[in-house]
Structure 1
Amino acid sequence: MTIIDGKAVAEEIKKEIGAEVEAIKVSGGKIPHLVAILVGNNGASETYVANKVKSCEELGFNSTLLRFDPSISEAELLAEVQKVNNNEDMDGLIVQLPLPDHINPDKVMETIDPKKDVDGFHPINIGRMAKGLPAYISATPQGVLDLLERYNIETSGKHCVVVGRSQIVGLPMSILMQRNHKVGNCTVTLTHSKTKNLAEVCASADILIAALGRPEFITADFIKEGAVVIDVGLTRVEDATKKSGFALKGDVKFDEVAPKCSFITPVPKGVGPMTIVSLMKNTLLSAKGLIY
């Protein structure tokens, strides 16, 4: 059994991106510029955005953080998005979720220029991905693809079961794993809360991708011997033994499942570290004009 070290892979990719940005600077090329919009002061959102800004600094990117009071109207926020759309120096735009209840997140995502949608949430990018056209792939699914590729895990002809159908992870993951690509060519089963005999379906998987957001839901009886298990889940669970008062748990009961696997991602330090580096990759692609 091999534990997939997402933190190490993320650091490796960061070094590659940093070296490329340094070469761009030396040649006088366009430095990638990422813009983040943060509405309100949600604690988790503050942390996520701070990590993204820090990554930009580490990699030599330019970054801009636009903060707005939670009282901002939907129309005003959409106008701010349009300003970024129209700024040719700005290559990527992310709007940190969640947004206040009076703002429709779908409307905001659809207002972002698809060419700057480095989160990969715009319907045009999702559609292009589904058709196999060049597109920005959302960060978590891209991170999973990178882990599978960097660990030389064979996917062609394998049965991949995805647990969870969210538009951010489960659905795009199911599309990506079946495409005609080096990391792909799987026969894919997409499961969800209404799937009957879920454990039985999962136990038929050569590759299981868990993305349902229920801590330690996937137990040993869901796994066949030698399966590859990718745990996308990340949930805070109360834990009095921790200084923070909580522990981070994945969707997979790791200690029970790991002995049956050929490869498995831990939580933390599995898929999580790959998400921000995937966002940086998309911003670099935008600055280089390689998608559109």
Structure 2
Amino acid sequence: MLEGFGTVGVVIALGALLAHLGVLDLHGQKVLSTVSFLVATPALLVVTLQGNDVSTVFSAGMIAVAAGVVATIVGSVLVSWRRKETMGEGVVGVMAATYGNTGNLGLPIATYVLGSAVLVAPTMLFQLILLQPAILTLLDAARSERRLRVSEVLLRPVRNPITIGAFVGIAMVVLGWSLPGWLGDPVDLIGNLAVPCMLLAYGVSLRLGPLPGRGVAPSVLWGRVGMKLLLQPLVTYLTGHYLLGLDGAELLAVVVLSALPTAQNTFVIATRYGTGQVMARDVIFVSTLLSVPAIALIAWLLS
């Protein structure tokens, strides 16, 4: 677990150092975020999802994960309503409070803490199938200068590269397909750009933007961090244990993975849509620091 967090921290620090030395500026940060959003992340999703077993991916654990996510969505929407945030700010706030870092932190934690990387699949798939397409569609609608027709809203997900990558990967899971080597190798190579680009862009923002905690109201920051690290895993545990009868490794997996910090691609998406960037960055920063003791405590209590 510490190795996974340490790897992430080193790359973020490198991004901050490059910004400090003038190698990367805010324009460079935007380029890195754009490459990650439009090209690298869709490729990564295809590579990550292909080859998974359908029964492992679509399991009861996904229902427990969904319950925790719904609880944090409700809490985040209430925060946005009370603060009279714009639709775009509110949607990014929901993502910051719900969307866990299943990629570059979930996979190593599943391996080192839970014993199998496959256990991250239900959490990752729920985020990719339902949560992320809904968030991107709402952000597209919020950015549009006119009111979108129902047909346009329904078609938005199939025009978004990240959603397309997720659906292609899911289709390959269902059909049991894998990319042939001549195509899979370049897609894998491009997908490997996603996480480094995200982390370097995030490091640049930490160095050139407002210091963490100074660019967003404390009530918003700590409210969404609390929802991510406390409310979501608690509701996931109660649902999984008492309603679905999960126990042992499967229960431990969904609760630990519900306590993952906010994903870096929340900041990438906020940058892409030009709304809520500082809030997303600060929630990622604080939740990442606090998730280490949170996940260790959950693993100790449920092991």
Shared fold by TM > 0.5? no
For normalisation by structure 1, the TM-score amounts to 0.27
Name whichever structure is richer in strand by fraction: 1
Query: Bigger relative contact order, structure 1 or 2, given CA contacts below 8 A and separation 6+?
Result: 2
For the pair shown, the structure with the greater C-alpha radius of gyration is 1
For normalisation by structure 2, the TM-score amounts to 0.26
